[in-house]
């Protein structure tokens, strides 16, 4: 049974925040002390490493589930299906709904339930649930949906990745410049035409790697609220990613039986430009090849890191011809791969 992507959609928030908007921030290190360099230098180094020059934030009245709903509507329309035929709605996120300025997240009811409600789906056999798997959540949702379809439990599944990370960042942490908001979605179906998932791989490293990403207190010693912020050990994540992701990608491609020379595109989680480039370089090195030109589309420079939303947003933009030098055609072999909190890694090879 071919299990393919029948439709895609994304929602890119309207508020554009550039690196210049951080020039007046009071950045502090983990000890609560100011950095010796000026914000201009900090921002220049940040841009050189991450590639990010601007990012998108959601409007105050929109929450994570709203962004997911907007992306879902577009994916369903693109798929050309009746929403009542959906058997599963899977929403990948990490922090639930986060009201602007509030210290707590909201996950009851689940974001998937809220999306189903907004879509006005009456069918109770359409099962809606959330998936927490770090940044690789959307990819993992696709892998789970494939299993549901192949074992006869489903025909059509909606998989969404949505996040409002701008509301869980510590404003004095320079890493706050990385994160952004957004949502992407796809409809996976047993009637996916010629599209087909050829292989997939998932892994969790939960020993010393378990807390490379975590929720922690503000670096501001004067902050006394109960809020917890997204924190990370950036260097450890970088080293973990370039050490483990290329091998996982290689194993996944080899399981598919597709020669490396037939791989047209790699849709990699938009975490950090330098890290992603290093991952893909090591991946091709495993096949004794140089990285082909235009194999890895990237939109992190203008959209930032929206976690679970980066890959489905990137794929939708390429699919719709919105990225220069990048397109996918029927029959093309592409790979999706991600790494994130857990530490989790996953990938799948797909024939368009």
Q: Is there a single domain that holds both residue 44 and residue 74?
A: yes
For residue 171, give the 3-state DSSP assignment.
coil
Q: Is there a single domain that holds both residue 152 and residue 18?
A: yes
Distance CA 214, CA 208 (A): 13
Q: Is there a single domain that holds both residue 144 and residue 288?
A: no
Token pair for 45: 């180094």
Residue ranges making up the domain that contains 130? 4-194
- Residue 100: the pLDDT is 79
The DSSP code for 179 is B
Q: Is there a single domain that holds both residue 58 and residue 155?
A: yes
Token pair for 124: 């109770």
Q: In terms of residues, how long is the chain?
A: 352
Q: What are phi and psi of 67, to 5 degrees?
A: -60, -40
Domain CATH number, residue 320:
3.40.47.10
Cβ neighbours of residue 38 closer than 8 Å, sequence gap 6 or more? none
Distance CA 279, CA 224 (A): 39
Using 70 as the pLDDT threshold, list the residues of the chain that sit under it.
103, 192-194
Q: Is there a single domain that holds both residue 172 and residue 202?
A: no
Distance CA 282, CA 285 (A): 5
* Cα 137–Cα 341–Cα 186 angle in degrees, nearest 5: 15
CB atoms within 10 A of CB 23: 12
Q: Is there a single domain that holds both residue 231 and residue 332?
A: yes
Q: Is there a single domain that holds both residue 189 and residue 282?
A: no
Q: Is there a single domain that holds both residue 256 and residue 118?
A: no
Q: Is there a single domain that holds both residue 128 and residue 211?
A: no
Q: Give 182: exposed, middle or buried? Use CB within 10 Å, 0-12, 13-18, 19+.
A: buried
- Residue 14: the pLDDT is 94
- Residue 37: the pLDDT is 87
Chosen domain end from 132, 165, 194: 194
Q: Is there a single domain that holds both residue 209 and residue 190?
A: no
CB atoms within 10 A of CB 324: 8
- Residue 32: the pLDDT is 85
Count of domains for the chain: 2
Distance CA 56, CA 164 (A): 10
Q: Is there a single domain that holds both residue 221 and residue 320?
A: yes
Chosen domain end from 145, 172, 194: 194
Distance CA 115, CA 141 (A): 15
Chosen domain end from 139, 169, 194: 194
Where do the H-state alpha helices sit in the chain? 39-50, 64-79, 111-119, 137-150, 234-256, 273-285, 300-303, 310-319
- Residue 192: the pLDDT is 65
- Average per-residue pLDDT in the chain? 94
Do 303 and 321 form a contact (C-beta atoms < 8 A)?
no
Q: Is there a single domain that holds both residue 145 and residue 85?
A: yes
Distance CA 260, CA 13 (A): 36
């Amino acid at each position: 049974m071919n299990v393919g992507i029948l439709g895609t959609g994304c929602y890119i928030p309207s508020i554009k925040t550039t690196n210049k908007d951080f020039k007046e921030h009071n950045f502090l290190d983990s000890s609560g002390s100011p950095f010796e360099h000026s914000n201009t230098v900090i921002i220049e180094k940040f841009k050189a490493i991450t590639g990010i020059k601007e990012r998108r934030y959601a409007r105050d009245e929109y929450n994570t589930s709203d962004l997911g709903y907007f992306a879902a509507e577009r994916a369903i329309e693109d798929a050309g299906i009746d929403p009542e035929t959906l058997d599963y709605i899977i929403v990948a996120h990490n922090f639930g709904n986060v009201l602007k300025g509030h210290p707590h997240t909201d996950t009851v009811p689940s974001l998937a339930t809220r999306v189903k409600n907004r879509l006005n789906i009456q069918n109770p056999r359409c099962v809606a649930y959330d998936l927490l798997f770090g940044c690789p959540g959307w990819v993992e949702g696709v892998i789970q949906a494939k299993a549901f379809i192949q074992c006869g439990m489903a025909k059509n599944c909606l998989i969404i990745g949505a996040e409002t990370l701008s509301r869980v960042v510590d404003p004095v942490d320079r890493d706050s410049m990385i994160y952004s908001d957004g949502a992407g979605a796809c409809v996976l179906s047993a009637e996916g035409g010629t599209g087909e998932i050829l292989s997939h791989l998932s892994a969790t490293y939960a020993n010393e790697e378990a807390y490379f990403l975590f929720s922690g207190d503000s670096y501001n010693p004067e902050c006394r609220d109960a809020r917890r912020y997204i924190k990370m050990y950036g260097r450890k994540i970088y080293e973990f990613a370039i050490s483990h992701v290329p091998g996982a990608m290689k194993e996944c491609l080899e399981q598919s039986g597709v020669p490396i020379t037939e791989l047209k595109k790699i849709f990699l989680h938009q975490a950090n430009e330098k890290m992603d480039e290093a991952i893909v370089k090591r991946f091709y090195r495993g096949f004794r090849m140089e990285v082909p030109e235009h194999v890895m589309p990237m939109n992190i420079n203008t959209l930032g890191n929206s976690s679970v939303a980066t890959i489905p947003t990137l794929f939708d933009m390429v699919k719709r011809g919105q990225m220069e030098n990048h397109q996918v055609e029927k029959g093309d072999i592409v790979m999706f791969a991600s790494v994130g909190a857990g530490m989790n890694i996953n990938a799948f090879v797909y024939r368009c």
